[in-house]
Amino acid sequence: MKLNQRGLLVVISGPSGVGKGTVRRALFNMPNHDLVYSVSMTTRPVREGEIEGVDYYFVDKETFLRRIQENKFLEWAEFVGHYYGTPRDKVDEQLDLGKEVVLEIEVEGALQVRKQMKEAVFIFLVPPGKLALYDRLKNRGTESMNMINKRMRKAEGEFLLAHKYDYIVVNDEVNNAADRIMAIIRAEHARTERTIHNYIKMIGE
């Protein structure tokens, strides 16, 4: 029996290369979960094979900027001329249905969300060591050494922001990290501040 009927917004964040996407996919492959992935909104053109509402919500720039003015994003950013953001209304719809909404995001975006959704669960994913992070970035084979070194310098600053998160999970092995995150989600549903009102209501009936 789950006393807290509203879902949780679970923010998985951490430096580039730490394995956020890989851990998130492992989390979604676990049996009997009630997780949904937070779909971002963007102004960039639709690419071949992409599906509206699955890959992104696609809108024009005017619509996106109006939503910024109306404070309808939990976080947003501009990248190479296009806007990306997490629509607050879409997240709230899923939370009201009792779903756990998973948002996989960079550190800067996570700190934006923290200001607006203090009840969310913020998880900082870290590598077992700096050398492991360097090796992961290098083994991806998608960036130059110059870019890898830039990402490592950026990661140094991001590690110092770990105290702004609720939990730190070490991604030493993907399935272990996913198990730890699922345990956090289950424990968060039992937190007194999330359940006390429903509990009082239940015992009063």
Domain boundary assignment for the chain: 9-38+100-204
Q: Are 113 and 105 in contact (CB under 8 A)?
A: yes
Q: Which of 18, 35, 6 is nearest to 177 (CA)?
A: 18
- From the options 3.30.70.260, 3.40.980.10, 3.40.50.300, 3.20.20.70, give the CATH code of 9-38+100-204: 3.40.50.300
**pTM higher than 0.75, yes or no?**
yes
pLDDT of 140 reads 76
**Integer Cα distance of 124 and 169 in angstroms:** 6
Residue among 92, 112, 123, 98 nearest 27 (CA): 123
Per-residue pLDDT of the chain (205 residues; tens, 9 = 90+): 566 678 999 999 998 889 898 999 999 999 878 899 999 999 999 988 989 988 899 999 999 999 999 999 999 999 878 999 999 999 999 999 999 999 999 899 999 999 999 899 999 999 988 888 878 888 877 778 888 888 888 888 899 999 999 999 999 999 999 999 999 999 998 888 877 777 777 777 6
